Amino acid sequence: MSQVDAQYREQAHTAAINICASVLPMDKLPAGLKDAYDSLFEELLADKDAQFAEAWVNLPASASKLLPKPCFHGFYIAAAWLQLSMIGQRLAEQAEGERSIDEQEYAGVYARIAKEALRESVRKIKKARTDRRLLNSMRQVIGLPQ
């Protein structure tokens, strides 16, 4: 994806924050987790491998018209953030169990998270075409009028 403008960035960030705030206390995140979220946000927003752009273009028109593109981008990023939180929790539990965590466990984590989050986000927006409750729920958590 080419560089996004400030308005697109802001809409995507606001959508991601609104979604995650319904699950996580975003204003009280530990610095390390906030840094990981910021890093993942920048990586997924930049979309250097064009996975998001390709997924957006390949959505049926009936799905892509349900949400503005930056809001869907934020929805996808929020899904990745939530997956990052779950993986972080598992890694923390492993570390507490005195199990050694080696570098290879971290290798490719963002790529795996991004791929799964995008797949899940696309599945949900496609399902929202026929599931009004899901669409309303998505719009509500993003902060869009229903």
Within a domain: residue 123? Answer: yes
Q: Using CA atoms of 20, 23, 27, 29 in order, give the dihedral in degrees to the nearest 10.
A: -100
**Domain that includes residue 34, residue range:** 6-142
Q: Would you state the pLDDT for residue 96?
A: 55
CB neighbourhood size of 84 (10 A): 20
Within a domain: residue 84? Answer: yes
Measured over the CA atoms of residue 92, residue 94, residue 99 and residue 103, the dihedral's sign is negative
Q: Would you state the pLDDT for residue 1?
A: 46
Within a domain: residue 52? Answer: yes
The residues of the chain scoring below 70 in pLDDT are 1-3, 90-107
Within a domain: residue 97? Answer: yes
Within a domain: residue 115? Answer: yes
Q: Would you state the pLDDT for residue 40?
A: 87
**Structure token pair of residue 122:** 């696309």
CB neighbourhood size of 124 (10 A): 19
Domain count, the chain: 1
Within a domain: residue 70? Answer: yes
CATH of the domain at 128: 1.10.3440.10
What is the percent of the chain with per-residue pLDDT over 90, rounded to a whole number? 57
Q: Please write the tens of the pLDDT for every residue from 75-116.
A: 999 999 888 888 777 666 665 554 545 544 555 777 888 999
Q: Would you state the pLDDT for residue 133?
A: 96
Within a domain: residue 1? Answer: no
Query: Which bin fits 74, alpha (ψ -120 to 50), beta or left (φ > 0)?
Result: alpha
Q: Of 7, 2, 17, nearest to 77 (Cα)? A: 17
